Amino acid sequence: MNLFADLGEFCRPNVPLGPMTWFQIGGPAEWLVEPRNEEDLAVVVHRCREAGMPLRVLGLGANVLVGDGGVRGAVVRLSAAHFQRIEIHGERVTAGAGAHLTKLVKNTASCGLAGLEVLAGIPGTVGGGVRMNCGGKYGDLASSVESVCLLSGRGGVREKTRGEMGFSYRHSEIGEDVVVSATFALKSSDAKTVQERFREIWKFKAETQPPLEDCSAGCIFKNPKDGPSAGKLIDELGLKGTREGGAEVSAIHANFVVTQRGAKASDVVRLIERVEEQVYARAGVRLQREVQIW
Ligand SMILES: Cc1cc2nc3c(=O)[nH]c(=O)nc-3n(C[C@H](O)[C@H](O)[C@H](O)COP(=O)(O)OP(=O)(O)OC[C@H]3O[C@@H](n4cnc5c(N)ncnc54)[C@H](O)[C@@H]3O)c2cc1C
């Protein structure tokens, strides 16, 4: 049975996902869904739930590795203009879940609004950023969030305050819900100062990580609660440069896996497993994955 027979305008079967992820690898989605608005999205979410069809949301795929065999069910991308809007009202900024973080960060910095510049150099969308609570040593996305609009499995949209989002390090408690938009509470400041801070953070990342254009998913592992960072642990074990097929532990930052043309998702998975085994065997630490493997 074709669940989306009447939704051909925004539901396409068998669409390759590789080009839609930062790694640029992986197989197709059984269905790629690009809703025009919340109503389209609600219909798809509701039908998937009723039929027991898996549904995933893909942002810019900057933290996702799609398996070589692709994914069963529906993959939703909030790429329509409606989901990319950015509205600035004084110190309050609302962005659709499909808005690109870098655009949002640059726009708010140029308006002299401070808070989001700490996310300089992090690729992704607002939806993926909320789900992952992206951030780094300068701060995280959650710190600027006022509220988030979520579409639940039952198809209804609900607004949650930051306190209700269960944010913690690279984590939020949204479960199966789809982020539709987020509102940020920023601080009026001097545009030049905020932009300067943005450039400093961007420069720091450019100097300490593989180039943004490389095929990767950022940090593969979360940092352990105590002790050295995941990157330091991997580096100290001499694992930089370790390879499996077309995948390699970056020589620049040991918590990044970078791939070469022709690499398979299975190469990346094998390399991740090898690093996990080595770190556990030699340092006694069980690393937790930050990358989402589909
Ligand atoms: C070069 C590079 C550098 C990076 N540096 C950092 C860094 O410094 N700090 C950091 O935290 N991360 C970093 N990352 C990882 C990545 O940028 C973040 O995790 C980012 O938030 C992912 O956003 P995305 O839109 O690409 O989400 P995706 O990678 O597409 O998805 C990530 C997760 O979010 C879910 N998701 C996406 N959109 C929605 C939505 N609308 N509703 C519900 N769930 C959704 C997906 O289902 C998936 O589980 C880096 C990645 C790269 C490639």
Q: What is the CATH number of the domain that holds 13?
A: 3.30.43.10
The answer to the question of residue 214 being in a domain is no
- Cβ atoms 108, 92 nearer than 8 A: no
Distances (CA, A) of 87 to 95, 107, 161, 177, 276: 6, 10, 18, 23, 43
Measured by CA distance, the residue closest to atom 43 of ligand 1 is 178
Q: Of 28, 57, 77, at which residue does a domain stop?
A: 77
Measured by CA distance, the residue closest to atom 2 of ligand 1 is 218
Domain co-membership, 73 together with 111: no
Measured by CA distance, the residue closest to atom 37 of ligand 1 is 128
At a CB cut-off of 8 Å and minimum separation 6, what does 5 contact?
none
The pLDDT of residue 30 is 97
The answer to the question of residue 140 being in a domain is yes
The answer to the question of residue 267 being in a domain is yes
The answer to the question of residue 274 being in a domain is yes
Q: In testing the pocket of ligand 1, which one of 34, 132, 149, 202 has its CB within 8 Å of the most ligand atoms?
A: 132
CA of 238 from ligand 1 middle (Å) equals 28
Element (H, E) at 18: none
- Cβ atoms 131, 103 nearer than 8 A: no
Provide the whole-model pTM: 0.96
The answer to the question of residue 43 being in a domain is yes
Domain co-membership, 117 together with 185: yes
The pLDDT of residue 1 is 67
Q: What is the CATH number of the domain that holds 104?
A: 3.30.465.10
CA of 6 from ligand 1 middle (Å) equals 31
What is the b/e burial string over 256-268, where b = at least 16 CB atoms within 10 angstroms of the residue's CB? bbbbeeebbbebb
User: What residues in the chain have per-residue pLDDT under 50?
Assistant: none
The answer to the question of residue 42 being in a domain is yes
> How far is it, in rounded angstroms, from Cα 242 to Cα 250?
8
Domain co-membership, 66 together with 170: no
Domain co-membership, 124 together with 70: no
Cα 82 from chain centre:
19
Domain co-membership, 93 together with 167: yes
Residues in the chain: 294
Ligand 1 atom closest to the Cα of residue 129 is 21
Ligand 1 atom closest to the Cα of residue 127 is 41
Domain co-membership, 104 together with 188: yes
Domain co-membership, 130 together with 240: no
Q: Of 77, 105, 126, at which residue does a domain stop?
A: 77
CA of 142 from ligand 1 middle (Å) equals 14
Q: Of 36, 55, 77, at which residue does a domain stop?
A: 77
Domain co-membership, 73 together with 96: no
The answer to the question of residue 45 being in a domain is yes
Element (H, E) at 164: none
Measured by CA distance, the residue closest to atom 17 of ligand 1 is 123
Measured by CA distance, the residue closest to atom 11 of ligand 1 is 134
The pLDDT of residue 94 is 98
| Ligand 1 neighbours by CB, cut-off 6 Å | 22, 56-64, 78, 97, 122-125, 127-129, 131-132, 134-136, 170, 178-179, 212, 216-218, 292
The pLDDT of residue 245 is 97
Domain co-membership, 72 together with 128: no
Number of compact structural domains in the chain: 3
The answer to the question of residue 17 being in a domain is yes
Ligand 1 atom closest to the Cα of residue 292 is 49
The pLDDT of residue 153 is 81
Domain co-membership, 90 together with 59: no
Beta-bridge partners for 219: 256
Structural domain range at position 173: 84-208
Domain co-membership, 97 together with 201: yes
Domain co-membership, 9 together with 96: no
Task: Kindly report the number of other CB atoms within 10 A of residue 248's CB atom.
Answer: 20
Q: What is the CATH number of the domain that holds 274?
A: 3.90.78.10
